[in-house]
Amino acid sequence: MLRRQLVRPLSPCARQPLCTSLRHNTFSTSTRRRLMGMTGFTETQLTVREAVTAVCSHFPNTYWQEHDQNQQDPTEFHAALAKDGWLGIALPEELGGSGLGISEATMMMQTIAESGAGMAGAQSIHGNVYATQPLARFGTQAQLHSTIPNIISGKWRVCFGVTEPNSGLDTLRLSTTAKKQPDGSYKVSGQKIWITCAQVARKMILLARTTPRDEVQNPSEGLSLFCIDLDRTQPGLDMRRIKKMGGCAVDANEVWFDNYPIPADTLIGAEGQGFKIILHGMNAERCLLAGEALGLGYAALGKAAEYARERIVFQRPIGQNQGVAHPLADAYMHLEAAKLATYHAARLYDASKTDTTIRQDAVGVAANSAKYLAAEAAFTACERAVLAHGGMGYSVEFDVERYFRECLVPRIAPVSREMILNYISEKVLELPRSY
């Protein structure tokens, strides 16, 4: 169960600001106040927010600046969340999790991003929350009891192996194969790309084709899901880190398999049903990404408002000028609107598990809409935060440049804006499918 006792925040690292005339506090301090309206959240969500904030207070903005610049995994941050049981927030209690819902997990992910950790902090544990959902629902008892507790404790990290360079969002055309051997085991061959945390992961939730596409009636058939070891001492496994624009504290990778052997008992659920299985986790991931985008947007907006209050030009705070104030106020309202959509989607997702009147297509529409709206609101907030800082918005020390680099992630992943618009056009407006 989650340890809900609050931890006294550590003092931020003492450090001189780049230019003391620009602001009174060192750049490593957190935003003075939380901007998001808290009306309407449950007591459990508020408890999650308060407790996670306490954990995050041990990791000031300087920690994330340094890890971003050095491309260094936030191992200590991951360990701190694992120590208090947060990695199991949405996993069953009988396996050591907290048995809470995606609503609470979304609040956790938002709080992490909002603390100053940004998308990098969120992505360091993102896979542990959502990639384990299909395993928890469809895995065998042996798989659950051998894997889930080690993930919750932080002993094992997890990555998700779906995306491929030649298929992109067209998942049904992925070409990585898992060929069954006479003894029931499989040999995997193919390539995955943009695999987050593969360098530090012990396990990968892998989607691969077990039946050739031309041998199945429906292209969604013949794909199987596995929970495999990433054993770097074995032949047939290779990976290369991708240099990227933002979120540099967490690795993204190309992964190659060449007849990489995996045991028969790594199969999750029935062979050939992998695509249907991962669908159960996709709406959850959209909710989590929406929450992370919100956190990033509120963090950037908080920084901008603080700077606008303190920065004096022409003998007055720049925030007194409507040319500065109005864009920030507009960004706040867009974040608040996206917040309502996000937590509506999360509540719908959780309620659908027991309420049979809630259709899964309704959950899909809500989750995709929330992800789209939150990503756009975050982009607006981060861009305007940089502009409000003027030249200092380009400085690493003021954090908003890092937030701006990272705010593109939720616009792109795990599904692009354009594909969400296609989805809403087809499912809600009943327009002809365009792809």
Q: What are 393-430's pLDDT values in tens digits?
A: 999 999 999 999 999 999 999 999 999 999 999 999 99
Provide the pLDDT confidence category of residue 379 given band limits of 50, 70 and 90. very high
pLDDT > 70: percent of the chain? 92
Pairing between β-strand 158-161 and β-strand 203-209 as defined by DSSP bridges: parallel
Nearest-10 crossing angle of helices 322-351, 274-310: 150
pTM above 0.75, yes or no: yes
What count of residues does the chain have?
435
Mean pLDDT value across residues 349-354: 95
Is residue 89 included in any domain, yes or no? yes
| Residues 211 and 327 both lie in one domain | no
CA distance 383 to 297: 9
Asked if residue 21 has pLDDT above 70, the reply is no
> Could you say which of 249, 273, 297 is where a domain stops?
273
CA distance 399 to 303: 8
pLDDT digits (tens, 9 = 90+) for 33-45: 679 999 999 999 9
Is residue 64 included in any domain, yes or no? yes
| Residues 284 and 405 both lie in one domain | yes
CATH value at residue 326: 1.20.140.10
| Residues 333 and 417 both lie in one domain | yes
> Could you say which of 218, 252, 273 is where a domain stops?
273
Provide the pLDDT confidence category of residue 17 given band limits of 50, 70 and 90. very low
pLDDT of residue 33: 63
pLDDT of residue 385: 98
pLDDT digits (tens, 9 = 90+) for 259-270: 999 999 999 999
pLDDT of residue 130: 85
pLDDT of residue 70: 98
pLDDT of residue 281: 83
Nearest to 292 by CA among 46, 127, 69, 93: 127
What are the backbone angles phi and psi of residue 49, rounded to the nearest 5°? -60, -45
Is residue 145 included in any domain, yes or no? no
Is residue 300 included in any domain, yes or no? yes
Domain that holds residue 384: 276-427
Asked if residue 26 has pLDDT above 90, the reply is no
Mean pLDDT value across residues 139-143: 95
Tokens describing residue 374: 């939150």
| Residues 284 and 417 both lie in one domain | yes
CA distance 57 to 265: 41
Residue with token string 């007591």: 43
| Residues 119 and 225 both lie in one domain | no
Is residue 143 included in any domain, yes or no? no
Question: Chain centroid to CA 428: how far?
Answer: 26
CATH value at residue 266: 2.40.110.10
| Residues 343 and 373 both lie in one domain | yes
| Residues 70 and 89 both lie in one domain | yes
| Residues 241 and 185 both lie in one domain | yes
| Residues 120 and 237 both lie in one domain | no
pLDDT of residue 7: 34
Provide the pLDDT confidence category of residue 25 given band limits of 50, 70 and 90. very low
| Residues 228 and 364 both lie in one domain | no
Torsional class of 37: left (φ above 0), alpha (ψ -120 to 50), beta (otherwise):
beta
The answer to whether residues 377 and 337 touch, using CB atoms and an 8 Å cutoff, is: yes
Nearest to 292 by CA among 156, 114, 43: 114
| 3-state SS class at 124 | helix
Provide the pLDDT confidence category of residue 19 given band limits of 50, 70 and 90. very low
Mean pLDDT value across residues 304-309: 98
Provide the pLDDT confidence category of residue 30 given band limits of 50, 70 and 90. very low
pLDDT > 90: percent of the chain? 89
| Residues 391 and 407 both lie in one domain | yes
Asked if residue 6 has pLDDT above 80, the reply is no
Is residue 353 included in any domain, yes or no? yes
Number of structural domains, the chain? 3
Provide the pLDDT confidence category of residue 129 given band limits of 50, 70 and 90. confident
pLDDT of residue 435: 87
CA distance 279 to 285: 10
CA distance 56 to 79: 12
Is residue 321 included in any domain, yes or no? yes
> Could you say which of 240, 258, 273 is where a domain stops?
273
- Cα atoms in the 13 Å half-sphere on the side-chain side of 143: 23
pLDDT of residue 430: 98
Asked if residue 292 has pLDDT above 70, the reply is yes
Asked if residue 28 has pLDDT above 50, the reply is no
| Average pLDDT, rounded, for the chain | 92
pLDDT digits (tens, 9 = 90+) for 91-110: 999 999 999 999 999 999 99
Residue with token string 């940089």: 386
Is residue 299 included in any domain, yes or no? yes
| Residues 290 and 421 both lie in one domain | yes
CATH value at residue 102: 1.10.540.10
